[in-house]
Amino acid sequence: MNVRFFLRKSEVWFSLTIPTYVLTLNVEYFLITVQMDKIFKQQKHELTEHYIYMELASLTKDEENKKILSEIGEQELEHYEFWKTVTGKEAEPDQKRIRKYKRLAKTFGLSFALRLMERGEADASEFYDSISGVHPEALRIKQDEENHEEKLIGILNDYRLNYAGAIVLGLNDALVEFTGTLAGLTFAFANNLIIGSTGLVMGVAASLSMAASGYLASREDEVEETNPITSAIYTGSAYIITVVFLVLPYFLLSNPYMAMGIMMAVTIAIIASYTYYISVAKAISFKKRFVEMALISIGVAIISFGIGYLIKHVFGVDV
Instruction: Mention every residue, 6+ apart, whose C-beta is less than 8 A from residue 44.
Output: 91, 92, 93, 94
Share of the chain above pLDDT 70, in %: 76
What's the confidence (pLDDT) of residue 287?
A: 84
44 and 94 Cβ atoms separated by less than 8 Å: yes
> Which has the higher per-residue pLDDT, 65 or 165?
65
CATH class of 2-156: mainly alpha
Domain locations in the chain?
Answer: 2-156, 160-314
The whole-angstrom separation of Cα 150 and Cα 252 is 50
Q: What share of the chain is helix, strand, coil (3-state, %, to 5)?
A: 80, 5, 15
* CB environment 254-269: b (16+ within 10 A), e (fewer): eebeebbebbbebbbe
What's the confidence (pLDDT) of residue 19?
A: 54
Which pLDDT band, with edges at 50, 70 and 90, does 250 fall under?
Answer: very high
- The DSSP element (H or E) to which 154 belongs, if any, is none
56 and 101 Cβ atoms separated by less than 8 Å: yes
What's the confidence (pLDDT) of residue 183?
A: 79
Reported as half-sphere exposure (CB side, CA atoms, 13 A), residue 85 has a value of 8
Taking residue 81's Cβ as centre, other Cβ atoms within 10 Å add up to: 13
117 and 52 Cβ atoms separated by less than 8 Å: yes
The whole-angstrom separation of Cα 102 and Cα 290 is 27
263 and 184 Cβ atoms separated by less than 8 Å: no
DSSP state, residue 254: S
For 17-58, write each residue's pLDDT tens digit. Answer: 545 444 444 444 444 566 788 888 888 999 999 999 999 989
Give the least confident one: 98-102, 140-144, 236-240, 300-304: 300-304
Judge if pTM exceeds 0.95.
no
Q: Is 156 helix (H, G, I), strand (E, B) or coil?
A: coil
